[in-house]
Amino acid sequence: MFENFAYADLPQDDEDLRPLVRQIAADAVVDLPMDQRARSWSGFDAAFSRKLGEAGLLGLTIPEQYGGGGRGPFARFVVVEELLAAGAPVAAHWIADRQSAPLILNFGTEEQRQFYIPRICRGEALFCIGMSEPGSGSDLASVTTKAERTKKGWRLNGQKIWTTNSLHSDYMIALVRTSGGAEDRHKGLSQLIVDLKLPGITIKPISDLTGDAHFAEVFFDDVDLSADALIGEEGAGWKQVVAELAFERSGPERIYSSIILLDSWIAHLREAGRSDDTTLSLVGEFMARLATLRGMSVACTALLAAGESPVVEASIIKDLGTSFEQDLPAAIANDLASHPDESANPELYRTLQYVSHIAPSFSLRGGTREILRGIIARGLGLR
The catalytic residues are 248
Separation of alpha carbons 183 and 165, rounded Å = 30
| pLDDT at residue 142, rounded to an integer | 80
At 114-128, the pLDDT tens digits run 999 999 999 999 999
Residues of the chain with CATH 2.40.110.10: 129-235
Distance of alpha carbon 104 from alpha carbon 348, whole angstroms: 41
**Is it the case that residue 253 has pLDDT exceeding 90?**
no
Mean pLDDT over residues 82-98, rounded?
A: 94
Give me the CATH code for the 129-235 domain, please: 2.40.110.10
Nearest to 87 by CA among 42, 131, 56: 42
Domain at 249-380: CATH code? 1.20.140.10
Within the chain, all domains assigned CATH 1.10.540.10 are found at 12-125
Task: State the pLDDT at residue 331.
Answer: 97
Identity of residue 259: I
Does residue 249 surpass a pLDDT of 70? Answer: no
CA distance 179 to 154: 12
Query: Under CATH, what is the fold of the domain 12-125?
Result: Butyryl-Coa Dehydrogenase, subunit A; domain 1 (1.10.540)
pLDDT score at 182: 67
According to the model, what pLDDT value does residue 307 have?
85
Query: Could you tell me the pTM of the whole model?
Result: 0.89
Is there a contact between 223 and 153 (Cβ–Cβ < 8 Å)? no
List, by residue range, all CATH 1.20.140.10 domains of the chain.
Answer: 249-380
Local structure of 55: helix, strand or coil: coil
- Indicate if the pLDDT at residue 84 is higher than 70: yes
Residue 177: enclosing H or E segment and its boundaries?
strand 171-177
In whole angstroms, give the CA distance from residue 314 to residue 296.
Answer: 9
